Structure 1
Amino acid sequence: MKIIQDWIEKYPLLNELVATKEVFWSNPKYQSFQTGFKQLSLNENDVKDAEERLKRFAPYIAKVFPETRELNGMIESPVVPISAMHQKLSHMYEHPLEGRFLLKCDSHLPISGSIKARGGIYEVLKHAETLALKHGLLTENDDYSILDSEKCRNFFSQYSIAVGSTGNLGLSIGIMSAQLGFKVTVHMSADAKKWKKDLLKSKGVMIVEYKEDYSKAVEEGRKQAQSEPNCYFIDDENSRDLFLGYAVAAIRLKKQLEDLNVTVDEDHPLFVYLPCGVGGGPGGVAFGLKLMYQDQGHCFFAEPTHSPCMLLGLVTGLHDQVSVQEFGIDNITAADGLAVGRPSRFVGQTIEPLLSGSYTVSDNELFKLLTALADTENIYLEPSALAGVIGPVKLSTEQQGKEYVQQHHLKDKMKNAVHLIWATGGSMVPAETMDEYYKKGVKLSL
């Protein structure tokens, strides 16, 4: 690899990234939908296949997770208008913000309370289906609620599942795997919150903790799977199934926006802001959104200033061949779900022609936004889930953001724009922990 100084000379933005300053980056490799999609190995049929599988599992989900019955076993979250927060943002950052502001509440997804309930649960279900079909416990035409039986749980108990996680992915995979009867081990990095570990232990999940960060947890999970014959490793860094589970969100979002009378077309652009760790969740969602809205959908990733791994991988083009630590960035952030030092190569390469841009946000800003959203909308999110909230501010105040709007002939359309902020987690945070977060935001806002 080139020495760090050479990279910084080639890409001056890296200077600010290394200094852990907030940055906004417009992606020079962004392409039109038609051009960008030709390069990819996944397509709309892959996403539809994932959606059909989730429909097959809906009767089982509704049976074992009563909180999903209202939606007939569909794991989905609401989209809500946040006009009071819209005004608050304009006031906080002393800049009038045009358009309509909506929050996608994946923070309140049933079962595990974060965006990871999409990809993580989907991949566990796909693995269970593969095994059950192969061993004659199930046919695709069956009512999948038959999987909720002693016979099936005993069958799945011969198999194990392993995953490396900073917290939320481990929660979704642990809860779902344990429910089906799998033996499950979650390898957790040092930054994983205690309450997440405690919740998993209460479900009978084995937790292995590491002093190191997320990459070490993934590496150890991979080793476990290689050493145990019946162990299946869910690979957050490279999994197509996780990615497709997230992508299904976009098909459903399209209907939700239509139900809210939200128009997305050439005169009404859609801007979506997605908190990003290793990349699977935001990458999958962005992929699905581009399928649905093509050039009318503009997706931006949001990362903590101390863990900007995806941005570093995209700027340098090195993807998983570079980590933030190699650039002297410590990867320590209160946004535990985003505390990742090395990005997914699979996601980086897949999303490269489809991603409009990326930006970073400091922990202090996340806490201030957490308190502001609680005060204005009575919605409480975990710190990492606030990363998307500042996106519209960045787009309209940062130089590269303004240039992006100009370059894509969007300036006159911004008054009709829809800003969709993806809230990725928070509803399962214990009250006392959330209270600490809130008070910290109050203190920082004085």
Structure 2
Amino acid sequence: MTIVKGKTMEKWISEFPDLGPVINYTPFYWSNPYVKDNKTAFQGQPLQLKDIQDAEERLKRFAPFIVKAYPETEKTRGIIESPLKKGNQIKERMETITGQRIPGALYIKLDSHLPISGSIKARGGIYEVLKYAETLLLEHNLLSEKDDYSKIAEDKYREFFSQYTILVGSTGNLGLSIGVISAKLGFRVVVHMSADAKKWKKDLLRERGVQVVEHPSDYSKAVEEGRKEAENDPQSYFIDDENSEDLFLGYTVAAIRLKKQLEEQEIQVSLEKPLHVYLPCGVGGGPGGVAFGLKAIFGDAVKCYFAEPTHSPCMLIGMMTRMHNEISVSDFGLDNRTAADGLAVGRPSGFVGKVMEPLIEGIYTVSDEQMFRLIAEMADEEGVHLEPSAVTGLMGPSYVVQNYPKVTEEDTHLIWATGGSMVPDEIKKAEYQKGLEYKIIPDAK
């Protein structure tokens, strides 16, 4: 008999009936019973709107450095931002695939095409590295907040940063973003990678001068080893994907940028015209930060949903049971093996889970077969190649329409496409071909 945290499996399922399909790898939508109105949800939160605004100001200070270090950001004046694209064709296709009409317009937020590291991790990862760099320079009187930060690209600053090491544990994209920006600044960088991390990501990091430490185990072990190594070196700084407020704040800034993009495209967001946002979720930092920012900016007019692999629904299990990081998918016999490497996480962030518990409308799961099919659909319909994890948002609107009958033509659906543009061509082709093999996606239940 399987005992999990002192309870039999039968007892768990009797207390949480929705656990049944989840632990059987069945794609499933869970409506969060703990969600609160925005005013109540933000009471007592460790972060507030002023913290998001502070993060945005810091990124503006660094913009001159970003332009100098990455000329491809010249058009956006050093602001790392992604396009917002209307998805008429993929919307129609998803209606056909799921058999569910989706009232309202559908848009795609292409974080897959963010400059520098081509994924949502370019937000949080790059922000935390820049904040640490700024802190060091201010402490050593090498910089003033009123300075032109483009000077940080000079050799003397690279020499200064070379005394310090940045460490992180990652399944792939976070390590990629942190490795790329840290190496550019001159830091020594060590990325502890889990077994799920794709080879091309490890190779790219090594090409940039980053030390990659490979672990045969999962994400949690990679984080643990990175944390342990940092504790033994006073000149090192560990970026903690599970607990970092700075990482989280880097993601929240997306909401300020999105508000401007929506206004430019004359997309109204209000209680009468809500915005539904679908976010792929691994340990929780990226989607949690974006959703937190959106809630701070739009209040009750925005509805946020997390998407997870059927094999790694760690946030769903943690939030449903309210055990958060005290429980893992392996406790319930799930194998945590998925093609969505960025979402291959067995235990969620306790910090993010508790912050987001009153703010998230629901969480749903997507199978690997569905992901590959959706890669091919996105490529055919919109000409955009995404990573497996980045297409999980596409299944969200049909679930939401089924569970919330008040969705109308006034609503807007936003798929957060979290990564894909840096995938090597041969892997893109292989993933696309695999997607073509899956002819049918089961209708949403």
TM-score (norm 1): 0.97
Counterparts of 1:14 and 1:59, CA distance in 2:
49
Could you say what secondary structure the match of 1:73 adopts? Answer: coil
Letter of the structure 1 residue corresponding to residue 419 of structure 2: G
| Alpha-carbon distance, 1:3 to partner | 2.1
Counterparts of 1:266 and 1:236, CA distance in 2:
33
Counterparts of 2:13 and 2:322, CA distance in 1:
13
Counterparts of 1:354 and 1:39, CA distance in 2:
13
Structure 1 residue aligned with 2:122, among 95, 117, 128?
Answer: 117
| Alpha-carbon distance, 1:4 to partner | 4.3
Match of 1:418 in 2: 412
Match of 2:290 in 1: 285
Could you say what secondary structure the match of 1:104 adopts? Answer: strand
Could you say what secondary structure the match of 2:66 adopts? Answer: helix
Structure 1 residue aligned with 2:426, among 426, 432, 438?
Answer: 432
| Alpha-carbon distance, 1:39 to partner | 2.7
Could you say what secondary structure the match of 2:394 adopts? Answer: coil
Is the Cα contact below 8 Å between 1:81 and 1:102 reproduced in 2? Answer: yes
| Alpha-carbon distance, 1:93 to partner | 1.3
Match of 1:103 in 2: 108
Structure 2 residue aligned with 1:362, among 367, 375, 381?
Answer: 367
Counterparts of 1:229 and 1:290, CA distance in 2:
37
Letter of the structure 1 residue corresponding to residue 122 of structure 2: A
Match of 2:329 in 1: 324
The size of the alignment, in residue pairs, is 435
Counterparts of 1:39 and 1:135, CA distance in 2:
35
Counterparts of 1:84 and 1:179, CA distance in 2:
39
Match of 2:310 in 1: 305
| Alpha-carbon distance, 1:2 to partner | 2.9
Letter of the structure 1 residue corresponding to residue 269 of structure 2: V
Counterparts of 1:2 and 1:137, CA distance in 2:
55
| Alpha-carbon distance, 1:393 to partner | 1.2
Letter of the structure 1 residue corresponding to residue 415 of structure 2: I
Could you say what secondary structure the match of 2:399 adopts? Answer: helix
Counterparts of 2:44 and 2:291, CA distance in 1:
16
Counterparts of 2:181 and 2:41, CA distance in 1:
35
Counterparts of 1:4 and 1:340, CA distance in 2:
24
Could you say what secondary structure the match of 1:390 adopts? Answer: helix
Could you say what secondary structure the match of 1:389 adopts? Answer: helix
Counterparts of 1:284 and 1:393, CA distance in 2:
24
Counterparts of 2:125 and 2:8, CA distance in 1:
35
Does residue 52 of structure 2 align to residue 58 of structure 1?
A: no
Match of 1:3 in 2: 7
Counterparts of 1:326 and 1:280, CA distance in 2:
22
Letter of the structure 2 residue corresponding to residue 115 of structure 1: I
| Identity over aligned pairs, percent | 57
Is the Cα contact below 8 Å between 1:4 and 1:327 reproduced in 2? Answer: no
Is the Cα contact below 8 Å between 1:275 and 1:424 reproduced in 2? Answer: yes
Counterparts of 2:70 and 2:116, CA distance in 1:
7
Counterparts of 1:25 and 1:208, CA distance in 2:
36
Could you say what secondary structure the match of 1:388 adopts? Answer: helix
Match of 2:319 in 1: 314
Could you say what secondary structure the match of 1:137 adopts? Answer: coil
Counterparts of 1:173 and 1:57, CA distance in 2:
16
Match of 1:221 in 2: 226
Match of 2:140 in 1: 135
Structure 1 gaps of 5+ residues are none
